[in-house]
Amino acid sequence: MFILRCAEETRAARAAIRRAGQTLALVPTMGALHEGHIALALEGKKHAGHVWLTIFVNPMQFGPHEDFHKYPRPVEDDLARCREAGVDAVFLPEVATMYPPNATEVKIEVPDLAKDLEGPVRPGHFAGVCRVVAKLLALTLPEVAVFGMKDYQQLRIIEAMNVDLMLPTRILPHPIVREADGLAKSSRNRYLSPNERLRALGISRALDACEKLAQSGETSAAVLEDAMVRTLVAHALAIDYATLRDRQTLAPAETLVPGQSVALITARCGTTRLLDNREL
């Protein structure tokens, strides 16, 4: 497995793949890899001859009071997991490689999709995500890039950016990978105490309750949202939102439209914010 650290060697390695008539799948991550990330890499392998994973804790997507410095960076473990999964190369840049000190800042924003949900809680977050993802895609020009569906709003924003910037990459969403008991896998789960870990299960249970009602024919967003809220409260979780939305526009939905709606939850368990969702 190659470890690529600078832009020039990365472009050269990419060019070699193209010269060999082969294709590339990219899996952008911030490291602290878990089975969810590895599933993205394995999915990438199904769609391209080479799979590269990027590990970069992107300072531009953290707010001043967020956990940029505290964000886990178990690089050696991450590299071992990548090797084991058959990743062909890891792009592991320094901050100065992605954001040279003399570079002019460029902003890419998708205001329609970023104005709500995570957007107001994390000002600048999605602009930071767009900037780094656009740079990673422009640098590596992969045929496909795989993103997890847990960060549902992020996925929609990246898809919209990819279309608007006419990038040649196909964005491939990958279903949420869960622990055996249903908790969505996340690098932030490691911050949960044993008691919080039990309570965090309330999030997937709230989505189960919502899905069960939907399957029984309930279409009122108010009723579905109430079912999620009651389950979250029963698990002593602090709710940021538990909401039914249109899958494409992320606009609030008054009525469930099967195949077009998604239930989105963000809740805090202690000091850890956890996200989850379910397409209905």
3-state DSSP call for residue 270? coil
Least separation in angstroms between residue 107's CB and ligand PAF is 15
Nearer to ligand PAF (CB atom), residue 54 or residue 231? 54
Q: Give the start-end residues of each E strand in the chain.
A: 2-4, 24-29, 50-55, 89-91, 144-148, 170-174, 238-246, 261-269, 272-279
**Pairwise CA distance, residues 74 & 27, whole Å:** 17
Instruction: Tokens for 25, please give them.
Output: 């799948």
Both tokens of 260, joined, read 């077009």
Q: Where are the alpha helices (DSSP H) in 20-114?
A: 35-47, 75-85, 95-98, 111-114
Residue among 129 and 203 whose Cβ is closer to ligand PAF: 129
State the nearest-atom distance from the C-beta of 53 to ligand PAF, in Å. Answer: 10
Return the residues of window 92-151 that contact ligand PAF according to CB under 6 A.
129, 132-133, 151
Size of the site for ligand PAF (CB under 6 A): 10
CB 156 to ligand PAF: min, Å: 13
Residue 37: active-site member: yes
Q: From the candidates 34, 37, 65, 69, give the one annotated as an active-site residue.
A: 37
82 binds ligand PAF, rule: CB under 6 A: no
- Residue 133 or residue 242: which is nearer to ligand PAF going by CB? 133
> Shortest gap between Cβ of 151 and ligand PAF (angstroms)?
5
Q: How far apart are CA 152 and CA 278, in angstroms?
A: 9
String marking each residue 24-63 x if it binds ligand PAF according to CB under 6 A: ----xxx---------------------------x--x--
The burial of 269, by beta-carbon neighbours within 10 Å (0-12 exposed, 13-18 middle, 19 or more buried), is given as: buried
* Rounded CA separation 200/261 (Å): 24
CB distance 51 to 86 below 8 Å? yes
Give the separation between CA 157 and CA 115, rounded to whole angstroms.
11
Least separation in angstroms between residue 143's CB and ligand PAF is 18
Stretch of 22-30, 69-77, 203-211, 252-260 lying at the interface with ligand PAF (CB under 6 A): 22-30
Which residues are known to be catalytic? Answer: 37
Residues that bind ligand PAF (CB under 6 A): 28-30, 58, 61, 129, 132-133, 151, 154
